[in-house]
Amino acid sequence: MAGLPAGVRYGRPIRGGIHPPYGKELAADSHTEDMPLPARVVVPMVQHTGATAKPVVAIGDVVRKGRKIGEAQGAVSAPVHASISGRVTAIGNFLHPSGREVPAIVIESDGTDDWAEDVVPPVEPEGMGAAALRKIISEAGIVGMGGAAFPTAVKLNPPAEKKIDTLVINGVECEPYLTSDDRLMVEHAVEIVDGVRFMRRILGVGRVVIGIEDNKPASIRAMAEAARSLDGAEVVALETKYPQGGEKQVIKAVLNREVPSGGLPMDVGVVVQNVGTAFAVHEAVRHGRPLIQRIVTVTGPGIAAPKNLLARIGTPIKDLIAAAGGFKGEPGRVILGGPMMGSAVYTLHVPVVKGSGGVLVLHRSDTVTEEYRACIRCASCVNACPMGLMPNFLSVAAEALNFDEGKQYHPYDCIECGCCDYVCPSRRPIAQQIRFIKAELRKKAEKAKAKAA
C-alpha cells in the first residue's frame, strides 16, 4: 500500500501462508444494504461456542425485536434474541449451517419491526465499571463475530493470574472474497472504536493495536482517523497474506509475540477481538441493542450482483442470494464463509447465524473434484504451514489410521486454515485428515477417562 496514514506502521510478515486469488473486488466497494424484513426467521439456539441456549418462549407468544427468546446455560454460553417482531410459530430442531439439526425458534413477522420494551440505552455507560459492562455484553448475546463465536463476555474476563496488557483488534479479514469487516470499518469506524474503548476499560489495559491487511486502504484510513480519539491505540498495516487473521498470526504480526504450542493469547498478555464484535459492543452499551443482525457478504463468480447485506439472524440464505440478484450461471458449490475455512451447504434453507460473514457461490468449474494421490514428499505443505507443523506426516498418519503416530506431530496446534491443501500438488485433503486425527484422539481420551472413572 503506497503512503500509510500518519501514525500507521507496518507489522511483521507471518510464517508460511499463501496468496490465493482474493476476489474481494467483487463486493469491496458495495455499500452495505439493509435486507428487506424477512417474513419468517429460524433462530438457532446454537450460535456460539459452549452450551446450547434454552428457549424461554412458547408457541403462540408474540415477541418484539430484541426480546430474549433463548437463555444462556452454564458458564460458556450466550443468550439469543428475536431478530424480528411477530409470533412464535414453532420450536423444534431445524437445519443449522453446520449441517446438523439443532434446537431453534421460528418467528413469523407481523410486519411492525418494533423493538421490545426492555431494549433501552443503558444509563451513563461512561461511568460503568467492568462487571456492569460485561453484564450488558453478556445479556446482549455478543459472540466473536470473526467466525469462532466464542462468548465475548467470557473472553473479556480472563483468569486473574493472566496479566493482560494489550487488546488486539482484528480487522484483518484475510479470507478471500469476504468484505463484511472491510465495509464495517469504512462505514462505522467511529462506532467500532467506541466499542473498543469499552472493551479496553473492562480489561483494564492501556494499549490497543488494530491490525488490518494492506488490501483495505480505505479501512486503514478510516480506522486510523477514528483511533486518534483513543489514547494508546494504533493501527498496524499488514502484508496481505492468508491466514494472517488467525489469532496467533495477528498477535505475531502486530506485537511480535509468539503464543506457545497449546497456549492461548492470554498466555502472552493479549486478548483479541474482531472489529464486528467491537461494533456489537457499541450497539449494546450505547443503545441497549442485542445482537440480532450482521453484515454478510454475498459474493463469488456464481452471484449476479455481489454485495454486502445487513441481514437479520435467522434469515434463510436463499433470501440473501435473491437480494444479490440470484445465481449467475450454474452454481457448483454454495459455501457459508470464505473458500478457505467456510463450509459447503447442501440446502439454501439454512439461516444466517451470528458467525456468518459470507455466502460464497462458486461455479462447478471452480471446484476441485479430482481424486487425491500419494504424497510425493515435496514439502510444499510444510513451507506453507503458518504454525510450523509437518502436515505431510499428519496426512500420512491419518490415511494409515495411525492416530498415535499423528499425535507426535502436534495436530492440536493446527488452526485448520487449509494452506496445506491449497499448495498440495497431490490434492490431499490434509486439513480434513488432521480434523479426523483430532476427533479420533478426543474420542480415545474420553473412552480412557470413562474407563478410569
Taking CB under 6 A as the criterion, the residue among 39, 75, 376, 401 binding ligand SF4 is 376
In the complex, minimum distance from the CB of residue 246 to ligand SF4, in angstroms, rounded to a whole number: 8
Q: How far is the CB of 249 from ligand SF4 (least distance, A)?
A: 10
In whole angstroms, how close is the CB of 105 to ligand SF4 at the nearest point?
Answer: 35
CA distance linking residue 144 with residue 369, whole number of Å: 33
User: Residue 232 — φ and ψ, nearest 5°?
Assistant: 85, 5
- DSSP SS3 for 251: helix
Q: Are 238 and 213 in contact (CB under 8 A)?
A: yes
Q: What is the edge-to-edge ordering of all strands in the sheet holding 86-95?
A: 40-44, 101-109, 86-95, 62-63
Residue 234 burial (CB < 10 Å; 0-12/13-18/19+)?
A: middle
Give me the 218-247 binding string for ligand SF4, x by CB under 6 A, dash otherwise: ------------------------------
Residue 55 Rama label (left phi>0; alpha psi -120 to 50; beta): beta
Residues 380-419 that bind ligand SF4 (CB under 6 A): 380-381, 384-387, 389, 391-392, 395, 414-419
Query: Buried b vs exposed e over 13-23: b needs ≥16 C-beta within 10 Å?
Result: ebebbbebebb
Closer by beta carbon to ligand SF4, 26 or else 430: 430
Of the candidates 62, 75, 378, 401, which one interacts with ligand SF4 according to CB under 6 A? 378
- At 235, list the grid cell: 493501527
In Å, how far are 5, 135, 231 from 212, measured between CA atoms?
13, 29, 19
For residue 410, the minimal CB distance to ligand SF4 (Å) is 9
Q: How far is the CB of 380 from ligand SF4 (least distance, A)?
A: 4
If one counts every other C-beta atom within 10 angstroms of the C-beta of residue 275, the result is 30
Q: Which is nearer to ligand SF4, 207 or 410 (CB)?
A: 410
- CA nearest to 137, candidates 285, 301, 314: 285
Asked if 132 is part of the footprint of ligand SF4 (rule: CB under 6 A), the reply reads: no
Quickly list DSSP for 273-284.
EEHHHHHHHHHH
Site string for ligand SF4, 326-365 (x = CB under 6 A): ----------------------------------------
Evaluate whether 249 touches 145 at the Cβ level (below 8 Å). Answer: no
Q: DSSP 3-state assignment of 34? A: strand
Taking alpha carbons only, the member of 118, 107, 116 closest to residue 61 is: 107
**Minimum distance, C-beta of residue 180 to ligand SF4, in the bound complex (Å):** 23
Residue closer to ligand SF4 by CB (options 33, 399) is 399
379 belongs to the binding site for ligand SF4 (CB under 6 A): yes
Rounded to a whole number of angstroms, the minimum distance from the CB of residue 429 to ligand SF4 is 10
Question: How many residues would you count in the chain?
Answer: 453
CB of 301 to ligand SF4, least distance (A): 25
Q: Quick one: 317 or 335, whose CB is closer to ligand SF4?
A: 335
Restricted to residues 415-444, the positions that interact with ligand SF4 (CB under 6 A) are 415-420, 423-426, 428, 430-431, 434
Determine, following the binding rule CB under 6 A, whether residue 8 of this chain makes contact with ligand SF4: no
Are 332 and 364 within 8 A, CB to CB? yes
What backbone torsions phi and psi does residue 263 show, to the nearest 5 degrees?
A: -95, 180
Residue 416 CB, shortest distance to ligand SF4, in Å, is: 5
SS3 for 312? strand
- Residue 162 CB-density burial (10 A; 0-12 exposed, 13-18 middle, 19+ buried): middle
* Residue selected from 19, 163, 377, 442 as contacting ligand SF4 according to rule CB under 6 A: 377
Q: How many residues sit close enough to ligand SF4 to count as binding (CB under 6 A)? A: 30
CB of 167 to ligand SF4, least distance (A): 25
Decide whether 36 or 425 has the Cβ nearer to ligand SF4: 425
Which listed range, 162-170, 184-192, 247-255, 379-387, lies at the site for ligand SF4 (CB under 6 A)? 379-387
Residues at the contact surface with ligand SF4, assessed by CB under 6 A: 375-381, 384-387, 389, 391-392, 395, 414-420, 423-426, 428, 430-431, 434
